[in-house]
């Protein structure tokens, strides 16, 4: 367990150094006048882009409603796939799926640590 704490402490130190370097970079950009001009132009273009996108979405409202429904269905199916795979894995059963081209897939699990409050 001490090795786990050592790696965790090293990770925190590296993340702190990364934050400091990113802050230094942001501060250097903050004093650059040409950067601010480009950012303002970019913001204006983003607004124009959003207006065009909103116009196209209004024209294709029915298709975008279908798209939103598909997004929800996909998210639900992904969650169900994860739950089923975890259940099979916890029972010691092999977990693989095959697509229409006979390509096999196996699950990849990720561990994250969250601060206890």
For 77, 85, 90, 94, 103, the CA distances from 106, given in Å and listed in that order, are 16, 9, 15, 9, 10
List Cβ neighbours of 98 (8 Å cut-off, separation of 6 or more). 104, 105
Confidence of residue 113 (pLDDT cuts 50, 70, 90): confident
Could you tell me which residues are beta bridge partners of residue 104? Answer: 98
> 79-112: per-residue pLDDT in tens?
999 999 999 999 999 999 999 999 999 988 888 8
The model's pTM: 0.59
Listed residue (98, 72, 97) closest to 84, CA to CA: 97
Q: Where is 105: in which H helix or E strand? A: strand 104-105
* Six-digit token string for 33: 């006048």
- What is the C-alpha separation between 21 and 24, in angstroms, rounded? 5
- What is the C-alpha separation between 65 and 117, in angstroms, rounded? 40
| Residue 70 confidence (pLDDT) above 80 | yes
> 14-51: per-residue pLDDT in tens?
999 999 999 999 999 999 999 999 999 999 999 999 99
Q: What pLDDT, on a 0 to 100 scale, did the predictor assign at position 85?
A: 92
């Amino acid at each position: 367990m001490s090795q786990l704490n050592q790696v965790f402490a090293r990770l925190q130190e590296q993340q702190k150094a990364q934050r400091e370097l990113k802050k230094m970079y942001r501060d250097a950009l903050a004093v650059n006048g040409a950067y601010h001009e480009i950012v303002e132009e970019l913001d204006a273009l983003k607004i124009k882009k959003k207006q065009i996108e909103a116009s196209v979405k209004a024209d294709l409202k029915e298709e975008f409603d279908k798209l939103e429904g598909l997004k929800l269905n996909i998210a639900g199916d992904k969650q169900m796939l994860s739950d089923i795979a975890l259940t099979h894995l916890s029972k010691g059963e092999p977990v693989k799926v095959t697509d229409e081209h006979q390509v096999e897939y196996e699950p990849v699990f990720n561990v994250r640590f969250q601060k206890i409050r």
